[in-house]
Amino acid sequence: MKKGLLLMLAAILSITFSYSQTLEELQATLAIQKDSLKAAQSRVNTTQGKIDAFPGWKKGAFGTVGGSVSNFNNWYAQKAPNNKSGNIGFTINAFANLDTESFFWRNAGNINLSWVKFDDKDNPNDNKTWREATDVFNITSLYGQKLSETFAFSGLAEYRTTILNNFNNPGYLDAGIGGTWTPIKDLVIVVHPLNYNLVFSKTDAIFQSSYGTKILVDYTRQIQAINFKTNLSMFQSYKSSDLSNWTWNNSFGYTLWKMIGVGFDFGVRSNKQEALKYYAINFDATSGDPEPTFENINNKLQSYWVVGLNYKF
C-alpha cells in the first residue's frame, strides 16, 4: 500500500516537472517568435517607406460615424418627461496626391454632416423631423512647379459651402497663385498673395468678393493605427477685414480592429459675413435694437465636434 502511494506521488511529481519544463520551453519559443515578428515588421516598414517614396499617385480616405437614440417616458426630472431624441453624423476625409521630381498635384476633400431630432410626445405641434445640424463641404486642388526640394511656385483652387441647406448660399471659391513650402513630409504650407475670393450668395449686400492673401496649412499623416489630419484655411481681404475669414478642421482616427476604430473630429471658424447674415435673418424690427451691421454684431467663434466609430477606407 505504501509502495503504491509512493509510486503515485513520484508519477505526479514527474508529470508536474515535465509540464513545468514544457511551459518554460514554450515561453522561450514565444519570445523568439516575438523577436522574429518585430524584425519582420521592421523590414515591412522599411520596404513600405521605399514604396511611398516613389513618384506617383497616393490615395486614401478615412471617416468617422457617430450617433445615438434615446426614449424617455414619465421622466419628470426633465422639462419634457416624454420624448424621443436622436442624432447622427459622419465625416469623410479623402485625398489623391501626385508627386514627381518636377511638380506635384495635391487634391483633398472633406465632408461633415449631421442631423438631430427631438420629439416631445406631449407637444403635438413640435418639430418631429430630422434637422440639419453640421453641414461642412470643402474641396481643394493645389498644383506646384518645384523650384527646390521644399519650395514650389503654385496655384490653388479651393471651394467651400454647405450642401444640406443653403447650398452655395454662401459658397466660397478661392483661386490664386504664390508659393508652397513643404519643410517636412506630409506638411504643406501655402501662401498666395495674389488670390481672389469669389463669394456666391443671394444676399449681395452682405457677401462680397474681394482680392486678398490666401494661407493654407495642411498636415495629413498615418502612423500605424493612427490617422490624423489638420487643415487651416485663411483668407485676408485687401478690401476690408470684415470680408476676411478662416476655418480650422481636425480629424483623428485610431484603428482598434481591422479597419474599425474610434474617431474624433472638431472644427472652428470665424466669418463675419456669415454672422451678419444670421443676425439679419433673425432681426426683430419691433425690438427697438439697431439694425445689424458689421460694426455692431457679435462675431462669435463657430465650432463643431463629432465623436464616434471610425472606419479606415
Q: For residue range 41-53, what is the model confidence (pLDDT) as tens digits?
A: 777 767 766 666 6
The answer to whether residue 13 scores a pLDDT higher than 80 is no
The answer to whether residue 221 scores a pLDDT higher than 70 is yes
User: What are 120's three cell numbers?
Assistant: 416631445
Confidence band for 7, pLDDT divided at 50, 70 and 90: low
The answer to whether residue 32 scores a pLDDT higher than 90 is no
| pTM of the entire predicted model | 0.75
Lowest mean pLDDT among 32-36, 176-180, 199-203, 278-282: 32-36
The answer to whether residue 20 scores a pLDDT higher than 60 is no
Confidence (pLDDT) at 239: 95
Confidence band for 81, pLDDT divided at 50, 70 and 90: confident
Dump pLDDT digits (tens) for 239-250: 999 999 999 999
List the beta strands (DSSP E) in 24-167: 56-72, 83-99, 103-120, 131-146, 151-161
* Element housing 174 (H / E): strand 171-181
Q: DSSP 3-state assignment of 304?
A: strand
Enumerate the β-bridge partners of residue 11: none
Length of the chain: 313
Confidence band for 10, pLDDT divided at 50, 70 and 90: low
User: What are 136's three cell numbers?
Assistant: 461642412
CA-wise closest residue to 189 among 157, 223, 154, 161: 154
Percent of the chain with pLDDT over 70: 88
The answer to whether residue 235 scores a pLDDT higher than 90 is yes
Confidence (pLDDT) at 63: 80
Confidence (pLDDT) at 66: 74
The rounded distance, in Å, linking the Cα atoms of 63 and 264 is 9
The answer to whether residue 11 scores a pLDDT higher than 60 is no
The answer to whether residue 16 scores a pLDDT higher than 60 is no
Q: Could you give the C-alpha distances from 141 to 98, 153, 178, in angstroms and in order?
A: 11, 14, 14
With beta carbons less than 8 A apart as the criterion, state whether 142 and 190 touch.
Answer: yes
The answer to whether residue 172 scores a pLDDT higher than 70 is yes
**DSSP characters over 206-235:** T---EEEEEEEEEEEEEETTEEEEEEEEEE
Confidence (pLDDT) at 312: 63
User: What are 293's three cell numbers?
Assistant: 451691421
What would you measure as the largest C-alpha separation in the chain, in angstroms? 109
**DSSP characters over 20-52:** HHHHHHHHHHHHHHHHHHHHHHHHHHHHHHHHH
Q: What is the mean pLDDT of the chain?
A: 84
Lowest mean pLDDT among 78-92, 144-158, 179-193, 212-226: 78-92
* Element housing 267 (H / E): strand 260-271
Lowest mean pLDDT among 9-18, 41-50, 91-100, 301-310: 9-18
The rounded distance, in Å, linking the Cα atoms of 309 and 254 is 9
Confidence (pLDDT) at 132: 85
CATH number of 56-312: 2.40.230
The answer to whether residue 2 scores a pLDDT higher than 90 is no
The answer to whether residue 210 scores a pLDDT higher than 70 is yes
User: What are 290's three cell numbers?
Assistant: 439697431
